[in-house]
Amino acid sequence: MSVAPEVAVLLDRLRNHSMTTYQHSCNVGNLACALAEGLGLQQEEVNIITVGGLLHDIGKARVRAAILHKAARLTAAEWEVMRRHPEFGVQILSGNEKFEVLEPLVAYHHERWDGQGYYGLGGSDIPLGARIIALADAFDAMTSCRAYQYSKNLLDGIQELASGAGKQFDPRLVQLFFDIMPSILKRNSRRAS
C-alpha cells in the first residue's frame, strides 16, 4: 500500500485538531501492526491494517474539540456526534480511491464480536482488520489517560481484555495479544529509551 504522503497529510490534520487523538492513533497503528504480524499475515495486509489503525479515528477531525476533550459526561446530542466518527472517517477517506481498502476498517472498528457494536456486525462478519483495530483501540484507550477517564494500569487492561474475549473481542485475537504482549512491551521500552 503506497499512500505515505496522503496518510501523512491526514495524520497531520488529526494532530492539529487533537494531539490526544493523534497519539492514540499512532499507538493503535503500532498495536494493530504487531497483531497483524503475529497472525502471520502477508506484508501487504499488515501494511493495510497498520494504516487502518493509524487512520481509524480520522473521522474525529470532524468532531468539535470541545466534544472530544470534554471532561464531563457527553450529552445525548454530543454522544450522537461522537458515535458518528467512523462514518465521518469513511467520508474523509472516500475522497481518495487508494483508501477504498481502508474504509471497512474505519467503518467497523467499533463492532463487537457479540454483534452489539455500532452497526450490529458480529463474529467473522466483521472484517479481520477491523477486529484487530478494535482490540488495539480498546486496549490503548483503557491504558491511556483521557480527559474523561483515568487510565487503567496494565494488569487492569489485560483483565478487561480477558473478560471481553468472546463478547467484545475476537477471542483468538485476545489470546494472540497475550502471546505477543511481552515482545510489544520490549519493543516499546526500547523506543522510549
Q: Helices (H) and strands (E) in the chain — how many of each?
A: 10, 0
Query: Are the C-beta atoms of 6 and 98 separated by less than 8 Å?
Result: yes
Q: Give the integer Cα–Cα distance in Å for 141 and 186.
A: 20
DSSP helix, strand, coil percent of the chain (3-state; round to 5): 70, 0, 30
Query: Are the C-beta atoms of 27 and 140 separated by less than 8 Å?
Result: yes
Q: Clarify whether 70 is annotated catalytic.
A: no
Q: Which of 60, 70, 167, 186 is the catalytic position?
A: 60
Closest CA to 187 of 35, 22, 85: 35
Query: Are the C-beta atoms of 37 and 46 separated by less than 8 Å?
Result: yes
- The letter for the amino acid at 39 is L
E-state strands within 8-153 = none
Helix (H) / strand (E) containing 172: helix 171-192
The residues carrying an active-site annotation are 60
